[in-house]
Chains A and B, each alone.
Chain A
């Protein structure tokens, strides 16, 4: 009974949740224990203060997302890969313990905030983007101070000396970012990630009317401006690619939402694209299994297929990661980077392939299953009158872009001079993505009358 009375203080806890998400969006710490601990603390507080609002069918709405994710995170934490890296000091055992804890906590946070009446997703989005914006501005200013504007163009091919060693990375491919409480030199994908994530707010400008909702429009315009400034003053191909990709996602979602007549066509195109990508992914995996040599024989026998599947710069990164992954030694994750055996395999930069190493076949299947459930959840979420449309499309754009980015340009060892090892699932934006999925799953499950539309005007 006492716990039931606590829910009147839930506004204060919602405020705390906002602050915690600001810390996460700011990527305030390179240590996953911090992210895990604050996620756990937030989930516990939300359970205590919202216990009256919790319902079994609500929790079951996120179960199909949460359970495979739990399986993925547990396998990851226990895998040979994780234990080997913990052994050499890349991260601690406590950090590994916090992987499933943080994932569970974030899933519950998504559900609990979706039922919290004092919580508004519109406010949280502004908090997350503001934290990203502040981080982008700080990073931009520190790059101005160190290198000046447009240094990636002006000093192309230059190297930096630090600690008596010439950097392997040239100046045009590095940038300064705030990491915890210090500024460090990182490779470009790490710098671009934050302004690019901030630029996902651009879709809101297509769905918010500047006349009816002027304040929101101005706030989102500032987010877009800050992200563009960060990418223009530190120009890079990766930044340009990210902006183009986000604009493409924006355009597809905008056309899909505004033009009902061609919805079906767009759906067919996207579905076909996904099926083709899935088949390609499957074929790459099969091509690298020595147990079924006929697939490899087929690709290596034809010069075009050989070039496509065996001998180009991109596929060369992915192939070693999926080689014989169904073998007993590799099925539940394996070791990399020449630590124990001599078979050096590097992270490919794509979570889909890297997860075979970190979490094994079961882990990858579990994670893909969670993603499919998550994206199916968006369908329900969009069909319910719960949040304003601009919030829905912004969340969708954020998730699609983030997955596309970590599916191609993820950098596990992004620091140039410091020893930092951060697999993508131990980063703050990943936790935000988990939160978004569980939030939309729970929100999509809430009946029309319970959800209540937010008044944004």
Chain B
């Protein structure tokens, strides 16, 4: 009996020592995703299960989507219950961290912290993504979804040389000169659990907006679409991908043989009125 007890103790610690890893998903090496170098900040994490999930629906919400380009007044009365809300009020009330503690962990927590704007310190509150996109796997499941909302802006890498379409000038690095028109097809993947299988519901929409580097609030895009009619529940993950349909600066430089990095800065993802368990 005594020997068995000793054996149990001897086995217990190595077993426990090898079971670690819960918080390892939330750590990053050095200054990753927080670099002053544009191209070092791409968040390209894809959860394997989400990546291999079967697409069960591909829905075009271009006509149903709501977009707002200013942090003033209401965004849309259909979505926001309080009509005198600014986006700052909205994000501080409906951020996902307020709904569950599980959203506090990892790099992806920047998407749920209620900070919907750049604070001027590199990547502090945003996730930078390219056309490869990224996914976020939740540790809990939601009940029925009401609507999806996201705050983002688009930008190009101004650390490299490029041509300016207006005067055909090369090597322009003046932020203000970068103001131009951009059209993308944004795909939001919502991953739900059906028994043990994970299913992907893709919501696509074409969005036209101003692409600019300044921090003026009017160049942030608040994008949302209603989900009530789809009766989705047991959400376990979300992905964001996009394709560039047209971009004045990117397209013009392509004709000159110059590739410009184009990124979305995703500041916040909202799934209001959902409970997590």
Contacts and interface: CB of A to CB of B under 8 A. Distances in A.
A143 to B, nearest CB: 8
A147 B24 contact: yes
Contact of A161 (B16, B19, B26, B115): B26
Interface stretch (B55-63, B104-112, B250-258): B104-112
Contacts of A56: none
B18 A148 contact: yes
Interface of B: 13, 16-24, 26-31, 33-34, 97, 104-113, 115, 124-125
A223 interface: no
Measured as residues with beta carbon below 8 angstroms from the partner, the interface class of chain A is 20 to 34
Contacts of A259: none
Contacts, number: 83
Contacts of A158: 27-30
- Chain A interface mostly: mixed
A157 B22 contact: no
Between B27, B29, B104, B110, the greatest number of chain A beta carbons within 10 A of the residue's beta carbon is seen for B27
A143 B105 CA distance: 16
Contacts of A148: 17-21, 24
Interface in A117-163: 141, 143-149, 151, 155, 157-163
Q: Which 8 A-B pairs have the closest CB atoms?
A: A148-B20, A164-B113, A149-B17, A146-B23, A164-B110, A158-B27, A144-B16, A164-B109
A158 B125 CA distance: 19
A110 B175 CA distance: 71
B28 A159 contact: yes
A219 B17 CA distance: 24
Contact of B20 (A147, A162, A163, A165): A147
Nearest to B24: A147
A162 B104 contact: yes
A1 interface: no
Between B18, B29, B31, the greatest number of chain A beta carbons within 10 A of the residue's beta carbon is seen for B29
Interface string A179-205: 000000000000000000000000000
A145 B13 contact: no
A162 B109 contact: yes
A192 B26 CA distance: 23
B97 A161 contact: no
Contact of A166 (B19, B28, B97): B28
Given A158-B29, A164-B125, 7 more contacts: A143-B20, A148-B18, A149-B20, A162-B104, A164-B111, A166-B33, A171-B27
Contact of A163 (B22, B24, B31, B104): B104
Between B18, B23, B107, the greatest number of chain A beta carbons within 10 A of the residue's beta carbon is seen for B23
A160 B115 contact: no
B69 to A, nearest CB: 24
A233 B17 contact: yes
B105 A162 contact: yes
Contact of B22 (A146, A149, A233): A146
Nearest to B15: A144
Given A160-B26, A161-B28, A145 B110 contact: no
Contacts of B31: 159
11 contacts: A147-B21, A147-B24, A148-B20, A157-B30, A159-B31, A160-B23, A163-B97, A163-B104, A164-B112, A164-B115, A166-B33
A148 to B, nearest CB: 2
Nearest to B32: A159
Interface string A221-233: 0000000010001
A141 B16 CA distance: 7
A163 B23 contact: no
Nearest to B97: A163
Nearest to A159: B28
Contacts of B33: 166
Contact of A229 (B13, B24, B97, B125): B13
Contacts of B105: 161-162
B20 A144 contact: yes
Given A161-B106, A165-B124, A144 B27 contact: no
Contacts of A229: 13
B189 to A, nearest CB: 22
Nearest to A160: B27
B171 to A, nearest CB: 34
